[in-house]
Each structure stands twice: as C-alpha cells, then as structure tokens.
Amino acid sequence: MNESVTDLNMESDIDIDKARADTPTCRNLVHFNNAGSSLMPTPVFDSVIRHLQLEQEVGGYEAHAQVMEDIDAFYKEFGSLLNASADEIAFIENATRAWDMAFYSLPLQPGDRILTHESEYVSNYLALLQQAERRKLRIDLVPSDEHGQIDLVELQNRITDRTRVIALTHIPTQGGLVNPVEAVGEIAKREGLIYLLDACQSAGQIQLDVKKIQCDLLSGTGRKFLRGPRGTGFLYVRKQFLEQLDPPFVDLHSATWTHDDGFEFQPNATRFENWESFYAGRIGLMQAVRYANQLGLASIEKRVCALGSQLRSTLDSINGVSTLDQGERRCGIVTFNKAGVSVADMKEKLSQHNMNVSVSSFNSARLDFARRNLTDITRASVHYFNSLDEINRFAERVDEI
C-alpha cells in the first residue's frame, strides 16, 4: 500500500479533529511511539482516574461492587473487537503473561515439536527455549520468504507427525510487516495443529477476526495501539479448545474448590485470570476498546496504514536514510536508520524536539536481526490521531540530524 498525500487529505471516516482533541498532548508532542505505548484518549484516562478516586472514597472491594456493569462490559467489548464470544476473553495483566498463560497450558509431551518464525519476539522465544529444555520439546524454525514474512511453503514442509503447535507473532516488534495469519490458520486447521497468535502489535491498529484467522489462542496488550493503560492485557481462548488446556496457575477466581480433594475450573476463559486485579486499569482498557470499536477498526486500519506508508516514503526521500520494513503487507510501524547517526543519538535528538520514537535492539529479535545483518534500528510508529503535518515536521528533523 502506498497512499499519497492527496489520498490522506481526503475526508476520513474518523473525525481527526475530535481524535486529536481527545489526545491533548498532540498540541506539543509528536508521538511516533505507539508501538511502544500509545497516548490514552481523555475518556480512557478519565475512567481510570474515576475508579481510583472511587476506591479512595469507598474502598477497593466496595468500588468493585459498584462498577460490575463496566467489568462485564470488558468481555463484551473485546468480543466485539475480535469477533469472539464474551466468555472466550480473559483479562491478564500484560501481553507477555497472557501469552505465557496460553503457551504453558498447552498439552505437550516430550518429543513434540513447535513451529515458529524467525521474527519471533524475545519473550516468546525465551519461553519456547525454557519449555524445550524442561519438557524435552523441539523448536522448528520457519524461515522468511523473499518478503521477510513467514514462508508458507516452508511452514507446510516442516510439519511432521510430532508437530503440535504453530506459535506466530502477527506483527513483529522490529518492523512494519504483517504476517499472513489467515493463510497460516488454514494450514493449522488442515493439519490439526494448535495455533497460538501473538497480537501484541496488531490489536488496535488493524482488524482482527479470530474466526477468519482460525487461531485457538490470541494474546495482546492494552498499552499499545489499543491506547489503554499500562499493566493491562488480554487473552482469547477458543471455546471449543478450552478443555484441552491446563492453566499453569490456579486460585479462588479461576477455579472453585468443590470438595476437600478436588476443584473445578471456571467454565470459560476467566480460568486464566487471577482474583486480584488492577480494576482501574481493566475499566480503562474496556473504555479504550469501546473507543476503538466506536471509531471502527476498518477505519483505523485504513488511516494507520496510509500514514505509515506516507512516513515510509517521506523518510526514503531523505539523503542517508534507509527504511528497513519488510512484508507484502505493511502497517503503521516504520523502521529506519540514518548513515553516520547512531540510533541512540537519533532517539535523543528527536526527543529534544518533543518527538517520540523507540529503538529495537539485536537482543529483542536476534534471529531476524542476524539474518538481516542489523544491530539496532530506530522505530517510528504512527496512529490514526497523527497527522501529515507531524510526518513532515518529523522528516525535516531527521534530515537535519
């Protein structure tokens, strides 16, 4: 996708003026770090503060009892976001723990094999390595195709009679490519494999339909493109797959102590939750998902990808700058380096002018970086509330550094 300035200036499905008004920091900050942690809209921020104030005024348990409608709405809003049922959703304190709760619950035996892509994120791959050693599992690495995304032919070729799982990251942290998750789902379905998808960077910036993807489990965070508070995440568990899983932790919320020597898990995805929870954050994340649902993920995706494409092409026009994104399909994450400028200096000098970016280092995705002969990169990630003017000012500053 290569949207032009003219296309972006056309009337948007999103009221950009309102979106920016709901993001007051836009007045003095160019925030291109939405893949790290986005800016909460005012309605989300206000909902968190209101609940914290309520807890201060009446007590934590009592505040919880007063907001049950919002607590229940969390599951309904996420169900709408993912095209899932409310009882297939769990609130987890962050994306890594959500992924871990899914992965560590899988019914795997010594000798079983897990397929993953060389773009896999560090925390996920560390868990794969730990469990491979602890449970005598095998990791089979699927290479990238000529576009840098998971090679579907090689994925199929690497399936054996001991292959049990495909674990894939939808959008890698270190670039703008979008892996072909629906095509992977077709293979997983056909071969009877468990399909675990990390949607940490995709939830909130592109459409997610778990029925089309055909994944069994999907994890994500609140703080990135969903624009929720930090310390929040979620897990989707396909209803028909639930009873095959053995959650690694259990407490009085996730299960019921039915008799002296026995218990029963909750009959839905809440069996992966803890009793103690950051309720202000959960309400804030619910409001963030509601905000995104009201804007429409199709509209969000259209604008984010167009802005990302515009930023990519604008940076490419600057002498000494190289953009590094791969993939047939790309999103709002744009990675680049500039000859003669370290990524640390680039980040710091942009920050001095109220422009936020982040850095992806070798240790966050060492398999992918080694293949591409990279050590670190600058990552700029746009969202729908960003503007063409911000892109142009950002590019001017990169040119000057």
Answer whether residue 7 shows pLDDT above 50: yes
- In the predicted structure, residue 354 carries a pLDDT above the cut 50: yes
What's the distance, CA 255 to chain centroid? 28
pLDDT for the residue numbered 270: 97
Mean pLDDT to the nearest integer, 368-378: 93
The percentage of the chain sitting over the pLDDT mark of 90, rounded to a whole number, equals: 95
- Dist. CA 314–CA 318, nearest whole Å: 7
Enumerate the domain spans of the chain. 5-39+296-400, 45-294
Instruction: Give residue-wise pLDDT tens across range 95-114.
Output: 999 999 999 999 999 999 99
The architecture in CATH of the region 5-39+296-400 reads: Alpha-Beta Complex (3.90)
Q: What is the pLDDT of residue 331?
A: 98
Could you tell me which CATH number the domain at 45-294 has? 3.40.640.10
Residue 276 has pLDDT above 80, yes or no: yes
Predicted model pTM: 0.95
Mean of pLDDT over the chain: 95
Q: How confident is the model at residue 365 (pLDDT cuts 50, 70, 90)?
A: confident
Give the pLDDT score at 8.
58
Q: What is the 3-state secondary structure (H, E, C) of the chain?
A: CCCCHHHHHCCCCCCHHHHHHCCHHHHCCEECECCCCCCCCHHHHHHHHHHHHHHHHHCHHHHHHHCHHHHHHHHHHHHHHHCCCHHHEEEECCHHHHHHHHHCCCCCCCCCEEEEECCCCHHHHHHHHHHHHHHCCEEEEECECCCCCECHHHHHHCCCCCEEEEEEECCCCCCCECCCHHHHHHHHHHHCCEEEEECCCCECCECCCHHHHCCCEEEEECCCCCCCCCCCEEEEECHHHHHHCCCCCCCCCCEEEEECCEEEECCCHHHHCCCCCCHHHHHHHHHHHHHHHHHCHHHHHHHHHHHHHHHHHHHHCCCCEEECCCCCCECCEEEEEECCECHHHHHHHHHCCCEECEEEEHHHCHHHHHHHCCCEEEEEECCCCCCHHHHHHHHHHHHHC
Distance CA(137)–CA(4), nearest Å, equals: 48
Q: In this model, does residue 2 exceed pLDDT 50?
A: no
State pLDDT tens for residues 52-70: 999 999 999 999 999 999 9
Q: What is the pLDDT of residues 283-318, one digit of tens each?
A: 999 999 999 999 999 999 999 999 999 999 999 999
pLDDT at 1 (0 to 100): 34
pLDDT of residue 363: 86
Does residue 80 register a pLDDT over 50? yes
pLDDT surpassing 80 at residue 12: no
Specify whether the CB–CB gap between 304 and 206 falls below 8 A.
yes
Strand arrangement, sheet containing 217-221: 89-92, 233-237, 217-221, 194-198, 163-169, 113-117, 138-142
With a CB cutoff of 8 Å and minimum separation 6, the contacts of 137 are: 108, 110, 111, 112, 113, 114, 128, 131
Contacts 24+ apart (CB under 8 A), 149-158: 149/117, 149/119, 149/177, 149/178, 149/179, 149/180, 149/326, 149/327, 149/328, 150/117, 150/119, 150/179, 150/180, 150/184, 152/180, 152/183, 152/184, 152/187, 155/115, 155/184, 155/187, 156/187, 158/115
Phi and psi at 320, nearest 5°, equal 90, -10
